[in-house]
Structure 1
Amino acid sequence: MSGFKKFLFRGNLVDLAVAFVVGAAFASLVKDFATSFITPLIALLGGKPDYTRLAVTINGTKFPYGVFVTSAVAFVITAVIVYFLVVLPTAKLIERMDRGKEATERECPQCLSDISVKARRCRYCTSEVVPLAEMPH
């Protein structure tokens, strides 16, 4: 039983659980934003994007492809919202925060792996490299 307790309370599992809960709350937030603002804007331009009633019947079997089309439209709207309101601003913020930082890694000239700027030998391909501090500028 103690092994099970260790498994449950390991940092990785707790972090994953917190990320899952926050991700679910964020998904709900994005969905509600799309429903409240984006979908009505689209409806102003070209009608409400609800295609759930679309279906085709072949030999008496109904294929409700409209459900998939509606989900695909919702996915694209959600992806656009997440990209422009979360990913892009976060990337710009991280870039702005990292401007003044000194580089701690560089590429190995032989295998192009990231290695420390102080390294004398690549840890991946073991080729000798000149530390950046000793390189002529």
Structure 2
Amino acid sequence: MLKGFKDFLMRGNVIDLAVAVVVGSAFTALVTSFTTSILKPIIAATGGGNVTGLTIQLRDGNEASIIDFAAMINAVITFFITAAVVYFLFVLPMKKISERRKKGKEEGQAEPTDVELLLEIRDLLRREQGLPQVKGLAAEAKKASVSGDGQQK
């Protein structure tokens, strides 16, 4: 049971995910600080008259009845900045690395065609029966499978 747990933890994906969560939370704190300290006061400055920083108080004297549009705009801006950074710094580079790895992999042997499999079976049966191997038809079968018509000529 512990071996399976150890294997799970030592997989690269789990460690990468843990690092991403830590970096993501630290970056979110940075973006939240930026939007709260810099963008929110700018947004609040656009409110006029009796509206304090794009807030509306629905019932006088009741602090719970305040609608704070600046906080909502701040949250939306924080979300988009965080999403953009995660996409451009993490997702896009990992996608490009994955594509490079796929290009670097060599293709395995191609699946044999039906004709090639039948020729192998015929040759094995002839060998088991002690009959001589048929020559010349294998090259002809390969030509047929390459040309795409699937029929021997």
* Structure ranking higher in strand proportion: 1
* Structure ranking higher in helix proportion: 2
Larger radius of gyration: 2
Asked which structure has the greater RCO (Cα within 8 Å, sep 6+), the reply is 2
